[in-house]
Amino acid sequence: MKKFCAFLIIVMLSACSEEKIQPQIDRTKTEGEIPSHESWNSKIMFTDEGRIKAVLYSNHLKKFEIQKVTLLEGVKIDFYDKQQKSTSYLTSLTGKVDDIMRDMYAFGNVVARNDSGVVLKTEELKWRNSDQKIVTERFVSITTKKEIIEGYGLESDQSLNNYVVFNPTYTASATKEEKTK
């Protein structure tokens, strides 16, 4: 019994002197700025002199006041012309709005489509509010009723009617099979 008590005392003393193991804490979520606003299933309207320019839908939105940026998850944007008619839309996995310049960025599985059937696919895109142009330096694929164009770098109006692919890598006439996609 004395040996057991002595053993128990030694174990307790050694436990007190050991360095405590600290749990791992994910500080990426708490360091830096915390969102000032956060919402789910959001709808934001971009207007100019009372006219709708674009409507942004987001599954999850986080607005950061100090950084002047809004981060988005599950993005859909409808673009409108001067007559308030929807001309094109864009979807992406995530996005960002520069709250100062009012520029919008789309990231991951970006697909833009207009009412004429032009489809643009890329991984990253920027909509510049100043001139209402869509731009990217990334790889793009554009499919129309008549052609397929792939390449790097693009500038287009927001309705995808007038676009330029800067470094084309592939062009072809669209076939009947591709028209049905």
- Where helices occur in the chain by DSSP H, the ranges are 2-17, 176-179
- Residue 3 has a pLDDT of 61
Residue 19 has pLDDT above 50, yes or no: yes
Separation of alpha carbons 142 and 144, rounded Å: 7
- Higher pLDDT: 176 or 42? It is 42
Domains, the chain, in order of start with CATH, read: 34-179 (2.60.450.10)
Task: List CB contacts of 72: < 8 A, sequence separation 6 or more.
Answer: 56, 58, 60, 61, 94, 95, 96, 97
